Amino acid sequence: MKRKVIFKSTVKGDIIDVEAFANNHTVNVNLNKGEYSSEFLGKISEGRTFNVQFRIHGLNGTSYSIAYFCAADNEKKSDPDKPSPIEGTIASGNYQSEELNIKI
């Protein structure tokens, strides 16, 4: 059975750019007042893992925060290893990757 999934996120920090991917598909990211936001709406089979990846670009040492919300058929979901909000720092290479695995 497929479940209706909604995923919304906001990335904050003194960062240059954010790329987002949902199950290996590019997700549009909008910049508004210094915050990068993205939204995914779709259907995913029950029991499957919904994978979300962020690539956060900025100077090494830059801190960032990712707040997210996910629901499948109005049931709140999250990655048990990375609950919202995720706090991080760009360590090297002027970008940092964050990955979420959310069981639907």
Q: pLDDT of 49-66, one tens digit each?
A: 999 999 999 999 999 999
Asked if pLDDT for residue 85 goes beyond 90, the answer is: yes
**pTM for this predicted structure:** 0.93
pLDDT for res 20: 96
Asked if pLDDT for residue 92 goes beyond 90, the answer is: yes
Question: Containing domain of residue 76, as a range?
Answer: 2-103
Our count of domains for the chain comes to: 1
Q: What angle do CA 8, 25, 77 make, to 5 degrees?
A: 35
The residue ranges of DSSP E strands in 34-94, in sequence order, are 35-45, 49-57, 63-72, 75-77, 86-89
Cα 60 off chain centre by: 20
- Of 4, 5, 1, 26, the C-alpha closest to 78 is 5
